[in-house]
């Protein structure tokens, strides 16, 4: 795909290959690793605006970034109440960030039932009010949304226009409906409709697991860039593949992720998290099943490192 900078308000990205917000995965260390592998922009996990307003330590922890983080700082907020969205966006916790993205695509039942995430696809006036509320922060604004709740309720074009009119500087369109969750075919035509409708950058999201997928998504939609979600969990080197960056020693990259995660987050979190990540990275390898069993039994950094060494050739 053609690499180019994307202008988001007054911000300009290094390129147009972005890391999506992934709940439970895009922590500070993972984001920084993906940026160094070539990603042009990386978002935090989705953070509750109301949680920040109520001084939630768990919400605040999601805002951490590494000391050597040298890119645009992008946070994703979720919520359904303009008051809390504005208060969070204009608050101290979000002050270090350059870009605020609003989640209007999460399909998870708990989020949906609260009127947040993809539930906002069914209430365009409320969705607009959330953008306007966050816009009062003076920061660049983007919105990530799906093409509709069901195939019978596609809203892509209208929603794209509404977000643009409310003040969004960029939109990201996940080419699936809410009821499909994370499966099913990505609807290129709907993303194309969004791109044709608005004069702000449109980023295409969905179904990217290798460089060829990014090429096809760009070609079929005419989007300004792509956003990679689960594909980055399975293979963070997808960024270097797309961007043409040669990585001579992949093991060292993952070893650094392991070390940095333990240093930043402590033994308990890092053990659980890195067991999962290495299991993702070796998917399809001849020893994957046996290695996953060992990983789930690993009790700390040293054991995980030993297992990582044993499968280094498959990383």
Residues assigned a catalytic role? 106
Nearest-5° Cα angle at 243, 144 to 2: 70
């Amino acid at each position: 795909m053609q690499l180019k900078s994307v202008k988001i308000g007054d911000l300009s990205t290094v390129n147009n290959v972005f890391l999506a917000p992934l709940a439970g995965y895009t922590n500070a260390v993972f984001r920084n690793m993906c940026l160094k592998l070539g990603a042009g922009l990386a978002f935090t996990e989705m953070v509750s605006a109301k949680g920040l307003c109520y001084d939630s330590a768990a919400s605040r922890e999601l805002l951490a970034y590494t000391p050597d983080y040298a890119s645009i700082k992008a946070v994703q907020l979720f919520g359904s109440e303009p008051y809390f969205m504005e208060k969070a966006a204009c608050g101290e916790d979000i002050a270090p960030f350059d870009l605020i993205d609003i989640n209007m695509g999460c399909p998870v039942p708990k989020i949906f039932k609260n009127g947040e995430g993809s539930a906002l696809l069914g209430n365009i006036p409320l969705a607009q009010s959330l953008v306007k509320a966050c816009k009062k922060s003076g920061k660049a604004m983007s919105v990530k949304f799906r093409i509709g709740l069901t195939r019978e309720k596609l809203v892509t074009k209208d929603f794209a226009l509404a977000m643009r009119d409310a003040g969004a500087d960029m939109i990201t369109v996940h080419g699936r409906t809410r009821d499909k969750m994370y499966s099913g075919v990505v609807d290129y035509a709907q993303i194309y409709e969004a791109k044709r409708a608005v004069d702000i950058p449109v980023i295409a999201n969905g179904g990217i697991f290798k460089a060829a997928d990014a090429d096809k998504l760009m070609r079929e939609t005419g989007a300004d860039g792509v956003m990679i979600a689960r594909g980055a969990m399975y293979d963070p080197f997808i960024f270097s593949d797309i961007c043409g960056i040669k990585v001579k020693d992949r093991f060292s990259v993952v070893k650094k992720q392991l070390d940095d995660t333990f240093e930043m987050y402590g033994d308990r979190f890092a053990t659980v998290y890195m067991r999962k990540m290495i299991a993702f990275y070796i998917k399809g390898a001849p020893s994957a099943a046996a290695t996953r069993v060992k990983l789930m039994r690993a009790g700390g950094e040293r054991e995980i490192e030993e297992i990582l060494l044993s499968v280094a050739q498959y990383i």
